[in-house]
Homo-oligomer: A and B are copies of this chain.
Amino acid sequence: MSFSPLIQQLIDALRILPGVGRKSAQRMALHLLERDRSGGLRLAQALSTAMEGVGYCRQCRTLSENELCQQCADPARDAGLLCIVQSPMDVFAVEQTGYRGRYFVLKGQLSPLDGLGPEAIGIPELLERIDNGAFGEVILATNPTVEGEATAYYIAQLLAPKGLVISRIAHGVPLGGELDLVDGGTLAHALAGRQPVRF
Q: Is A48 part of the contact surface with B, judged by Cβ < 8 Å?
A: yes
* Chain A contact residue count (CB 8 A cutoff): 56
Verify if A167 is at the interface (C-beta below 8 Å from B): no
Rounded to whole angstroms, the CA-CA distance of A101 and B32 in the bound complex is 27
A1-15 residues at the B interface, CB under 8 angstroms:
2-7, 9-10, 12-14
Q: Which residues on the B side are within 8 Å of A63 (C-beta)?
A: 3-4, 7, 30, 33-34
B residues near A2, Cβ cutoff 8 Å: 70-71, 91-92, 95
Q: How far is the CB of A42 from chain B (nearest CB, A)?
A: 5
A50 proximal to B (CB < 8 A): yes
Find chain B residues with CB under 8 A from A32 CB: 16-17, 47, 50-51
The answer to whether B47 touches A51, judged by C-beta atoms less than 8 angstroms apart, is no
Spell out A's residues near B (CB within 8 Å).
2-7, 9-10, 12-14, 16-19, 24, 26-34, 36-37, 39-54, 63-66, 69-71, 87-89, 91-92, 95
